[in-house]
């Protein structure tokens, strides 16, 4: 039996581990990022940094947030003197690598999961900084504000349409030629941009349903796949390793 071919749509700088896992599990990875991430030094980020001493908590929702802060304001991370909440193991590990202690990480790696943890721990009347992408869902800041907290939002990076559309078009061509066995999506925008590049969204959705195993990171990304009427699976724990383990379980089953 030939190696199963798995399409990875993650941003290039986040895709290394996913490709490595695919190859380790006996597959061939095809990387076609449908999303690019660019750290940016915005006015809102500058203002958050200036308010560092007012923060009771800071929330890192992705590794790119840490990369951005370290790029533009390395002293901010070194001298951070508040509690830290993160979403996801990878974000937590990168924070620890920079010498930070993680005080709160939800079992459910979503904004909803983090709001629930703050609620369970009765964390209220706090000033919470959230550096992230401006295109992120409002769930987290709204949820924390409903608990009685003050939230300072800052744009730390931009989620961009893929710079290299040709790679995605090449992937779509391979899907049309039945050369791909499975495809993975790790955020709502990876799905939206994938279909935005396609000339025939309905035909592409049919090809995915008929010929590919579609695996996503969790329920938030799944909602966008539902919009395109695509059948999908996702792991119980919303991580890339768990997603890949599930993918190969199904392919080999």
Q: Are residues 48 and 126 in the same domain?
A: yes
Q: Are residues 110 and 222 in the same domain?
A: no
Q: Are residues 58 and 84 in the same domain?
A: yes
Q: Are residues 167 and 242 in the same domain?
A: yes
The total number of structural domains in the chain stands at: 2
Cα–Cα distances (Å) from 163 to 31, 34, 68, 180, in that order, read 14, 9, 19, 22
Decide which of 110, 125, 160 is a domain's last residue. Answer: 160
Do residues 111 and 137 touch, judged by C-beta distance below 8 A? Answer: yes
pLDDT of the residue at 13? 85
Q: Are residues 151 and 179 in the same domain?
A: no
Q: Are residues 217 and 142 in the same domain?
A: no
The whole-number average pLDDT for the span 49-70 is 96
Confidence band of 163 (pLDDT split at 50, 70, 90): confident
Q: Are residues 156 and 167 in the same domain?
A: no
CB-CB neighbours of 253 under 10 Å: 5
Q: What is the CATH number of the domain that holds 210?
A: 3.40.50.10090
DSSP 68-128: HHHHH-HHHHHT--SEEEESSHHHHHHHHHTTPPP-B--SS-SHHHHHHHHHHTT--S-EE
Residue 172 reports pLDDT greater than 90 = yes
Beta strands 150-160 and 127-133, pairing class: parallel
Decide which of 140, 160, 180 is a domain's last residue. Answer: 160
The whole-number average pLDDT for the span 129-153 is 96
pLDDT of the residue at 197? 96
Residue 80 reports pLDDT greater than 90 = yes
Residue 39 reports pLDDT greater than 90 = yes
pLDDT of the residue at 36? 95
The DSSP letter of residue 216 is: E
Q: Are residues 147 and 180 in the same domain?
A: no
Decide which of 160, 189, 221 is a domain's last residue. Answer: 160
Q: Are residues 103 and 133 in the same domain?
A: yes
pLDDT of the residue at 98? 95
pLDDT tens-place string over residues 178-197: 999 999 999 999 999 999 99
Q: Are residues 175 and 88 in the same domain?
A: no
pLDDT of the residue at 59? 98
Spatial separation of the C-alpha atoms in residues 118 and 250, rounded to whole Å: 35
Q: Are residues 88 and 184 in the same domain?
A: no
The whole-number average pLDDT for the span 48-58 is 97
Owning domain of residue 247: 5-35+162-252
Q: Are residues 44 and 146 in the same domain?
A: yes
Considering the chain, what is the average pLDDT of its residues?
95
Using a 10 angstrom Cβ sphere, with 0-12 exposed, 13-18 middle and 19 or more buried, the burial of residue 199 is exposed
């Amino acid at each position: 039996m030939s190696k199963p071919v798995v399409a990875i749509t993650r941003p290039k700088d986040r895709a290394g581990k996913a490709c490595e896992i695919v190859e380790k599990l006996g597959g061939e990875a095809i990387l076609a990022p449908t999303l690019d991430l660019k750290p940016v030094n915005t006015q809102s980020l500058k203002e958050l940094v200036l308010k560092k001493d007012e923060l009771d908590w800071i929330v890192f929702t992705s590794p790119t947030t840490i990369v951005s802060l370290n790029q533009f304001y390395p002293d901010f991370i070194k001298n951070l003197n508040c509690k830290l909440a993160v979403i996801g193991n990878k974000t937590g590990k990168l924070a620890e690598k920079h010498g930070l202690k993680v005080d709160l990480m939800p079992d459910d790696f979503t904004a909803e999961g983090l709001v629930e943890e703050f609620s369970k721990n009765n964390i209220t009347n706090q000033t919470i900084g959230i550096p992230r992408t401006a295109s992120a869902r409002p769930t987290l800041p709204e949820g924390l504000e409903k608990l009685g907290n003050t939230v300072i939002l800052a744009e730390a990076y931009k989620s961009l349409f893929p710079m290299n559309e040709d790679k995605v078009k090449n992937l779509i061509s391979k899907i049309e030629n039945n050369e791909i066995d499975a495809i993975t999506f790790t955020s709502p925008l990876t799905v939206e941009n994938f279909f935005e590049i396609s000339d025939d969204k309905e035909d592409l959705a049919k090809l995915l349903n008929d010929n590919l195993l579609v695996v996503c990171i969790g329920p938030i990304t799944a909602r966008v796949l539902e919009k395109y009427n695509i059948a999908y699976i996702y792991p119980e724990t919303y991580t890339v390793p768990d997603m890949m383990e599930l993918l190969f379980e199904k392919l080999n089953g």
